Structure 1
């Protein structure tokens, strides 16, 4: 496949889960991919899977200097960004009554502030035909017990795409939201402290998903590849759910 041949893609949160699966898919479709993540060991492990068509930049999306270093590296080596997948995000479970100021600040800093400035700092390297993909979530349109702060950040991401689609009129740059449902990722695993709790979460998610199973990250990556390519050339401000029907029926 060559739908992204010659393209330069940047993926934040690209060392594991959906980000890593998407990096693999973009490379298979012909792109050169930069991945960013906070943990150097995870980045090194990802690069061992991705091969010569990938480059890793260690950094935190909440730190302006790290984002500047990322995009300066891309500018110096490739000159442009054709596809930006602003995927970095965290979720800290806490029900109302137990939410701390630190949890609130950390989640909004990574998911909302980090997404905003990732996109804003990439824009000077983007041009007509560019595609911006933001990672949303089914939680952005649903009530989810214990995850109200995370859910609120994903609702904000959805409105970013709607508003930025207006801001980008005339540039030829598109922006869309990719919203996964229950997906087998390290992030989902981290929501539970024990194997029993983890299995209980998985069982409840599967029971609520019409497809009857959880997604593999590669399935979400396939949708990201669609949004990155010219196959989605008439889409901007949209939200694409890859959720097995979880938030749809």
Structure 2
């Protein structure tokens, strides 16, 4: 099937690379008109070229409330509604206990929690009955990870937001679910190993040994999981966390 999002309006934040970009490509191919956001104008231009048709790019920083206001005002004017919202923008840095800084906590929770909260809240007037909200989680939220506690805690917060919001949204027909990948071969993941391709591959190979499927995911595999949550195939899935982690946090 190639039309599971036919005529839908989708917004994916932080979609200039990695999982967000792969998902935007898939949603557009499945018939949606996709709005994507990103901080960098050149990266947005490159993403636009990669996606092709059915895409509108908006330069915005999800941590800035005024930027979010601009995003939703543009979508309201041009499309009038949102059928699928994927709050995908996020990230984190590595620091072990004893070296955690106030800046790291503020930046990580600012992007992964505060920005996500206001992305969804400001989208509410445009979300229609039957719409799907997908929150970017992580398998790190349920598993201890050395030097990654702040990021992991922020993703645990995302999980509870979904549980709580489905109660707030009872009767609206709006679904909220969490999509939690494990390690995915993206520029963000490779960046943790620095610029040396050999070190990057070594990290990928090592992570593969920790995953029951024996490898890390590709971004388009996570995009397919997002498509399931976005379309009517998951019409009775609400408040759930879908792990796409090859079994890493499940064993």
TM-score (norm 1): 0.98
- Aligned partners of 1:205, 1:18: CA distance in 2, in Å? 18
Compute the displacement of 1:205 (Å). Answer: 1.0
Compute the displacement of 1:28 (Å). Answer: 1.0
Compute the displacement of 1:197 (Å). Answer: 4.0
User: Corresponding residue for 2:49?
Assistant: 48
User: Corresponding residue for 2:242?
Assistant: 240
How far does the alpha carbon of each residue in 1:158-216 deviate from its partner, in whole angstroms, 9 at most, with x for none? 00110001111010000000000110011101212253543332222100111111111
- Aligned partners of 1:29, 1:13: CA distance in 2, in Å? 20
- Aligned partners of 1:162, 1:198: CA distance in 2, in Å? 36
Structure 2: runs of 5+ lacking an equivalent: none
TM-score (norm 2): 0.97
Residues 9 and 34, structure 2, Cα contact 8 Å, conserved in 1: yes
User: Corresponding residue for 2:38?
Assistant: 37
Say what the alpha-carbon RMSD is for the aligned residues: 0.9
Does 2:179 align with 1:178?
A: yes
- Aligned partners of 2:181, 2:40: CA distance in 1, in Å? 23
Does 2:32 align with 1:15?
A: no
- Aligned partners of 2:92, 2:199: CA distance in 1, in Å? 17
User: Corresponding residue for 2:6?
Assistant: 5
Residues 140 and 155, structure 2, Cα contact 8 Å, conserved in 1: yes
- Cα distance change on mapping 1:205 and 1:230 into 2, 3 Å: same
Compute the displacement of 1:247 (Å). Answer: 0.8
- Aligned partners of 1:31, 1:194: CA distance in 2, in Å? 35
Alignment of 1:202-217 (within 5 A): 202-217=204-219
Using the TM superposition, name which of 192-201 and 125-134 deviates more. 192-201
Q: Secondary structure at the match of 1:127?
A: strand
Alignment of 1:37-116 (within 5 A): 37-116=38-117
- Aligned partners of 2:149, 2:39: CA distance in 1, in Å? 25
- Aligned partners of 1:194, 1:220: CA distance in 2, in Å? 24
- Aligned partners of 1:25, 1:101: CA distance in 2, in Å? 38
Residues 28 and 53, structure 2, Cα contact 8 Å, conserved in 1: no
- Aligned partners of 1:193, 1:95: CA distance in 2, in Å? 18
What is the aligned residue count?
249
